Amino acid sequence: MHPAASVIIFTSLSGLGFGLMFFLGLGKPDVSGGSAFVFFCIAYALAVGGLLASTFHLGNPQRAMKAFSQWRTSWLSREGVVAVAALLAMGVYAALLIFVGIRVAPLGWLGSALSITAVYCTSMIYGQLKTVPRWNMTTTPILFLLYALSGGALLAAQLPFALLLLAILTLVQILSWMLGDLSFALAGHNIETATGLGHLGKVRLLESPHSGENYLTREMVHVIGRKHSFKLRVIAALCLGVIPVVLLGLFQINHLSALLIIALHVIGLFTSRWLFFAEAEHVVGLYYDKR
């Protein structure tokens, strides 16, 4: 798939923002007044900024509001509805905490539940697609949730949680890459099934279906070399969790080192998210013999 910058930014930043909201709703860290204002501003900037970035990927952004009406059948619509509900619930919770000094715990728990549900809905936009076997795996929603929770734990300064979550995230990410490499073959997709000519025997491409590029070849077919893919996976794994886990486990963490760990994690997050899209093979690519 074409790794569009808007979708990479959306899925990465919104996950971090809702992950931070999840911990803030649980009262972690225990902040109020000005410090609470700073934490909630960061959470809202990430979550809302990510959601706004997603509108640049829409074919007709002015119709974005219509997506909310399809919540019965569309994960994209469910994501929008739940995300707005989470932002509203956390907004009320934050206002009471910051300006009145009252922590309404049940409201915070509701905001936390809605925040993590919004991340799950985002994951299922991709996880439901049987036409992209690398996404259509159990590990997809698990990864999205782990990304949000581990990043949120780092931003909320919940370092023991962050260490455990980052270690699990790194292992699941590596497992997902390994399973993803086998997903196309395990799904049984090949050029015979793509063309419907398998009953005639082995199928091979004689001429391209089109003389030039079209929407499908631009958006649904993206080829990345195995050598480059492996290098980016190594960079992603190291920055995403391996180095942060080592730093968290072996060294005393101060503000400067915490910022370094967060920066490394974000680099790993964006790298792995770019790979999430760039490595995804759509079955339509078989019709163009692009695998």
The answer to whether the predicted template modeling score (pTM) of the entire model surpasses 0.85 is: yes
Kindly state the DSSP code that residue 281 receives in the 8-state scheme: P
Cβ atoms of 189 and 286 closer than 8 Å: yes
User: What count of residues does the chain have?
Assistant: 291
Triad 280, 284, 288: Cα angle to 5°: 110
User: What sign does the CA torsion over 54, 143, 271, 151 have?
Assistant: positive
Q: Residue 191, CB half-sphere, CA atoms under 13 Å: how many? A: 13
- Would you place residue 200 in the very low, low, confident or very high pLDDT band (cuts 50, 70, 90)? confident
Q: Which long-range contacts (CB under 8 A, 24 or more apart) does 200-204 make?
A: 204/289
Give the pLDDT confidence of 71-116 residue by residue, as tens digits: 778 888 899 899 999 999 999 999 999 999 899 999 999 999 999 9
- Would you place residue 212 in the very low, low, confident or very high pLDDT band (cuts 50, 70, 90)? low
